[in-house]
């Protein structure tokens, strides 16, 4: 890159895909290359840098790609991540997942490949690393920073549960899609005078159920932060239906919601490297229980239900306006820090203003303040005032 060359920046996307990742990649790449940096996209989250082979003659195109303005301009308006993603965790890698060329070196049941990761980053000549992800992806970014590598992180997750920031890439599109799909399905619920139960993402935080409910898309919602009484939910849903001239009501159920005295429901026992089993089924069970209990609150007459897991329909496709603008800003914030020689930071949006905080704030999950924002009796949002609240009201990192 000649006399203007300032260094090399690596960028990766990990965890679940969300709309807004490609705009962030585009923003970083365009600004960085214009400022004199070379940009390398690491493929498949932490997997690409894990599986890299340090041989200039080896075809590592499945592990990394050099990014240019011309390349990222074609993808900046699209959803998903063109760098691909994975849930690879290099610090806790099972023996069966260790790349073949590293199996002799790492042969324990669980292996920490961090020395190899650092070696591979140095072999690529990467000076700064920008991981884009949620708690799982960013927690390993914290680990690399603690090992002395220069890391600037960007928060991404439609659950919006990364600590330190009011907003994570993907959240707005998720809420927008949830509202739209709920409104689509309510016509069937109304036609058949049923109770509509929709399951949405949200393992530890219920923002993706609470915000659409606040916007008027649902009558009630149940969230991971509060174990709910199914009898109370059924009573409320029947009352909501019977008050409605169209004779239907709508409930949103976070995938991590739990019955009183119960536990999270899992689709299967298999876990990823971060220890997460796939959630699924709570919405279906809630729907069945409401149908079974409904006669108790409806003069002995059963009310049929409609159940739908919105799942990947809320995370696929193109980003909405907010998830096109915020990733652009986050990418440029990251470059602002790098140009100032600053690292070990997480770029954030707080109280309507862009900022940055120490990266090691990424510990655990941000959750809904139930006492402030959730009515545990009525199973719906509560809000007393809007003055000085963040854009999405209940998503502030307090």
- Active centre residues (catalytic): 159
Which residue stretches of 294-361 are H helix? Answer: 322-339
Place of tokens 């969300």: 18
Burial code of 236-273, b = ≥16 C-beta within 10 A, e = fewer?
bbbebbeeeeebbbbbbbbbbbbbeeeebbbeeeeeeb
The helix (H) or strand (E) run that includes residue 25 is: helix 21-35
The pair of structure tokens assigned to 330 is: 């986050």
The string of DSSP letters for 38-75 reads EEEEESTTHHHHHH----TTS--TTTEEEE-HHHHHTT
- What is the C-alpha separation between 173 and 221, in angstroms, rounded? 19
Collapsing DSSP to helix, strand or coil, 300 comes out as: coil
The string of DSSP letters for 86-144 reads ----GGGEEGGGS-GGGTTT--SSEE--HHHHHHHHHHTT-SEEEEEESHHHHHHHHHH
Nearest alpha-carbon partner for 81 in 25, 2, 135:
25
Cα Dmax for the chain: 82
Beta-bridged to residue 37, according to DSSP, are 7
Residues sharing a CB contact under 8 Å with residue 312, sequence separation 6 or more, in sequence order: none
- What is the C-alpha separation between 210 and 175, in angstroms, rounded? 9
- What is the C-alpha separation between 179 and 208, in angstroms, rounded? 10
Nearest alpha-carbon partner for 60 in 69, 49, 70:
49
- What is the C-alpha separation between 48 and 86, in angstroms, rounded? 9
């Amino acid at each position: 890159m000649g006399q203007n060359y300032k260094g090399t920046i690596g960028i990766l996307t990990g965890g679940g895909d969300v709309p807004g990742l490609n705009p962030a990649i585009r923003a970083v790449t365009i600004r960085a290359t214009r400022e004199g940096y070379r940009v390398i996209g690491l493929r498949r989250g932490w997997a690409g840098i894990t599986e890299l082979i340090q041989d200039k003659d080896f075809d590592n195109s499945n592990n990394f790609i050099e990014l240019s303005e011309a390349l990222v301009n074609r993808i900046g308006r699209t959803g998903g991540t063109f760098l691909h993603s994975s849930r690879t965790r290099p610090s806790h890698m099972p023996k069966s997942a260790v790349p073949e060329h590293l199996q002799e070196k790492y042969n324990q049941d669980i292996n920490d490949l961090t020395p190899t990761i650092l070696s591979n980053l140095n072999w690529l000549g990467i000076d700064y690393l920008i991981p884009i992800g949620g708690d799982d992806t960013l927690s390993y970014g914290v680990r690399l920073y603690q090992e002395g590598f220069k890391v600037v992180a960007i928060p991404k997750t439609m659950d919006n549960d990364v600590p330190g920031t009011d907003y994570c890439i993907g959240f707005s599109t998720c809420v927008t899609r949830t509202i739209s799909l709920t409104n689509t399905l309510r016509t069937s619920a109304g036609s058949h005078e049923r109770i509509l139960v929709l399951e949405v993402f949200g393992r530890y935080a219920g923002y993706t159920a609470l915000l659409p409910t606040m916007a008027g898309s649902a009558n009630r919602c149940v969230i991971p932060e509060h174990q709910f009484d199914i009898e109370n939910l059924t009573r409320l849903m029947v009352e909501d239906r019977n008050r409605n001239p169209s004779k239907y009501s709508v409930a949103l159920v976070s995938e991590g919601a739990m019955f009183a005295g119960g536990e999270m429901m899992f689709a299967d026992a298999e876990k990823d490297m971060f220890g997460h089993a796939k959630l699924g089924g709570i919405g279906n069970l809630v729907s069945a229980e409401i149908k079974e209990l409904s006669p108790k609150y409806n003069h002995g007459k059963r009310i049929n239900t409609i159940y739908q897991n919105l799942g990947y329909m809320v995370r696929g496709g193109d980003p909405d306006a907010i998830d096109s603008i915020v990733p652009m800003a986050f990418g440029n914030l990251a470059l602002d820090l790098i140009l100032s020689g600053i690292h070990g930071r997480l770029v954030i949006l707080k109280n309507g203003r862009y900022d940055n905080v120490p990266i090691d704030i990424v510990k655990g999950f941000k959750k809904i303040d139930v006492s402030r924002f959730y009515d545990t009796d009525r199973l719906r949002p509560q809000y007393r005032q809007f003055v000085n609240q963040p854009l999405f009201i209940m998503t502030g990192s307090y």
